[in-house]
C-alpha cells in the first residue's frame, strides 16, 4: 500500500500540491487547473480559508446554501437522523423523512403535481423528467413523440440526456454534440423580464412547435431565469404562452426549477410569475439547504397514471434514491425557509443588488446589468479570466466565481446589508479594473 498520500495533519502546501496534481475539479484542466482555495470551515455566510482569512460567499455553494453554513437547525436534523438510520434502499422500503418531505413538496408546488420521484442530483432529475415524458407517450401508444424541445441559451445539467437539451452551440457541452441525442431547439426568448412584452418573441417557438409537434414529447425550459446558460431573465408572458402552446399541440411542459426553486427569484417557484402549472417539475440545489445532494422530479396525475396504466412501471431507480439523511435535512431546510419571512428578505436583497450594481452600467467593460430576486449579474463585453478574477475577489474578502462573460452572485438569503454591499463593491471594483486600459 502507498504510504506517501497526504493526511489531515499535512501542511497547507502539501495538501494543495496533492489537490493540484491529483484531484480533478469541475470545469478545469487536469494538467493546468484553476487555482483552488483550501477551506477549513464555513459558518453563516463566511468561508474560512486555511490561512485564517474569512471571505463572504456570494455563490451560496452554487446557489444551494440558502440558509448559510453550519445552521444549527439543519445540523440537528442531520445528527438526529444519522443516529437512527443514514440510508436504506428505496425499493420496497420507505421511511418517514421521505414521506414528510414529499408531503411538504406537494403542499408548496403547483396543485396539479401529485407524484414525487426522488433523485440524487439536479442532472438526474432532468434525466428522469425526460424519461417520464418519453414513456408517457409510449404508454399512450404514440412512439413517434420522443424528442425534446428546448430553448437556446438553456442549461439543464451535465449528464447525457440533460446535455442534449442544453444550448447545442454556445453551451458548455458543444464538445459532445456528435455523441448526444439530437433534440429540437427554439430561439432564446429575447423579451426581457423588466421590459414590456413583445409578442414577436413567441414566433419561433410557435413555428417550431407547429412544424414538429408530432415528434415532440415535451418542451423543457428554465422558467423566467436561464441559469448557467447565460443568467438571462425573460418575461413571464413568454412562459404563459409556452404553456398554452404545449396544451394546443399536445406537448408536456417540463419546468426545470433546479436553480430557481425555493424563493431565489422572489417567488417560491419561478413558474408562479406566470401563474402556470407544468406537467413535470425538476427541483434540487437548495432543497437540502446545501447540506448534501438531493433532487426530485414531480409529475402530474395525468403523467404518472399515464405511464402506469395497464401495469406499466417507470424505469428508473437510483441506489441512493430517497436517502433518509438527505430527506431529513431537506424537511428541516424547507421548514426553516417557510417559517421565515423569506419574501421580504429576497425583496430587500433585490433592492440592494439594484442599488449597488447599477453603478456599473456606465463602465466600458460592462455590457449589461441584470437583477432579479436574489440574483445579481454583471455581463461583461469580454470573457472573464476566471483565475485572475478569483484571486482578485479573495483579496477583496469575497468569493465570486465568474463564468464566460458573466460575473454574478446568488448569495445565501441570510446575508446582511453590510456583507452584501461588500460583495457588490468587489464586483464593481473588478469591472472598473477591467475598464482601465492597463488592465
Q: Which of 256, 267, 279, 408 is catalytic?
A: 256
Q: Which of 57, 69, 120, 155 is catalytic?
A: 155
The rounded distance, in Å, linking the Cα atoms of 90 and 406 is 40
The rounded distance, in Å, linking the Cα atoms of 115 and 109 is 11
The rounded distance, in Å, linking the Cα atoms of 360 and 434 is 11
Which residue intervals of 56-111 are DSSP H helices?
60-63, 72-84, 96-108
Q: Which of 27, 79, 107, 417 is catalytic?
A: 27
The residue behind cell 439523511 is 325
The rounded distance, in Å, linking the Cα atoms of 395 and 375 is 23
The rounded distance, in Å, linking the Cα atoms of 159 and 48 is 32
Burial of 62 (0-12, 13-18, 19+ CB in 10 A): middle
Per DSSP, the three-state class of 30 is coil
Q: Which of 285, 291, 413, 430 is catalytic?
A: 285
User: Does the annotation count 285 as an active-site position?
Assistant: yes
The rounded distance, in Å, linking the Cα atoms of 146 and 224 is 25
Residues paired with residue 56 on neighbouring β-strands, in sequence order: 46, 398
The rounded distance, in Å, linking the Cα atoms of 375 and 235 is 16
Per DSSP, the three-state class of 368 is strand
User: Does the annotation count 27 as an active-site position?
Assistant: yes
Which residues are designated catalytic?
27, 155, 256, 285
Amino acid at each position: 500500500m502507498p504510504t506517501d498520500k497526504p493526511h489531515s495533519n499535512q501542511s497547507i502546501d502539501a495538501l494543495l500540491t496533492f489537490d493540484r496534481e491529483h484531484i480533478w475539479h469541475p470545469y478545469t484542466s487536469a494538467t493546468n487547473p484553476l487555482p483552488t482555495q483550501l477551506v477549513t470551515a464555513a459558518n453563516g455566510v463566511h468561508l474560512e480559508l486555511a490561512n485564517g482569512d474569512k471571505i463572504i460567499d456570494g455563490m451560496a455553494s452554487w446557489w444551494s446554501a440558502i440558509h448559510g453554513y453550519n445552521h444549527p437547525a439543519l445540523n440537528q436534523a442531520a445528527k438526529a437522523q444519522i443516529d437512527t438510520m443514514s440510508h436504506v434502499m428505496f425499493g420496497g422500503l420507505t421511511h418517514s423523512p421521505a414521506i414528510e418531505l414529499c408531503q411538504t413538496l406537494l403542499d408548496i408546488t403547483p396543485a396539479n403535481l401529485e407524484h414525487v420521484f426522488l433523485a440524487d442530483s439536479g442532472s438526474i432529475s432532468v434525466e428522469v423528467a425526460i424519461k417520464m415524458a418519453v414513456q408517457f407517450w409510449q404508454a399512450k401508444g404514440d412512439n413517434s413523440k420522443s424528442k425534446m424541445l428546448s430553448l437556446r441559451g438553456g442549461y439543464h445539467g451535465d449528464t447525457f440526456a440533460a446535455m442534449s437539451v442544453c444550448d447545442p452551440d454556445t453551451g458548455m457541452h458543444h464538445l459532445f454534440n456528435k455523441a448526444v441525442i439530437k433534440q429540437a431547439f427554439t430561439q432564446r426568448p429575447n423579451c426581457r423580464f423588466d421590459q414590456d412584452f413583445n409578442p414577436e418573441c413567441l414566433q419561433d417557438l410557435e413555428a417550431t412547435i407547429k412544424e414538429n409537434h408530432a415528434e415532440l414529447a415535451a418542451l423543457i425550459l428554465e422558467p423566467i431565469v436561464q441559469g448557467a446558460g447565460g443568467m438571462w431573465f425573460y418575461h413571464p408572458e413568454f412562459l404563459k404562452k409556452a404553456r398554452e402552446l404545449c396544451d394546443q399541440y399536445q406537448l408536456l411542459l417540463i419546468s426545470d426549477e433546479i436553480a430557481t426553486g425555493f424563493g431565489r427569484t422572489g417567488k417560491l417557484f419561478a413558474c408562479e410569475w406566470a401563474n402556470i402549472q407544468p406537467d413535470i417539475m425538476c427541483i434540487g440545489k437548495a432543497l437540502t439547504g446545501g447540506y448534501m445532494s438531493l433532487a426530485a422530479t414531480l409529475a402530474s396525475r395525468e403523467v404518472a397514471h399515464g405511464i402506469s396504466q395497464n401495469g406499466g412501471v417507470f424505469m428508473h431507480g437510483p441506489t441512493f434514491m430517497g436517502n433518509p439523511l438527505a430527506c431529513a435535512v431537506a424537511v428541516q431546510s424547507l421548514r426553516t425557509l417557510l417559517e421565515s419571512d423569506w419574501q421580504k428578505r429576497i425583496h430587500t436583497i433585490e433592492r440592494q443588488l439594484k442599488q449597488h450594481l447599477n453603478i456599473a452600467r456606465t463602465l466600458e467593460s460592462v455590457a449589461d446589468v441584470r437583477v432579479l430576486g436574489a440574483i445579481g449579474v454583471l455581463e461583461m463585453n469580454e470573457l472573464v479570466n476566471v483565475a485572475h478574477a478569483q484571486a482578485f475577489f479573495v483579496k477583496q474578502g469575497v468569493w465570486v466565481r465568474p463564468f464566460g462573460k458573466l460575473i454574478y452572485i446568488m448569495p445565501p438569503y441570510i446575508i446582511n446589508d453590510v456583507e452584501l454591499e461588500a460583495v457588490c463593491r468587489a464586483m464593481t471594483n473588478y469591472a472598473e479594473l477591467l475598464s482601465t486600459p492597463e488592465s
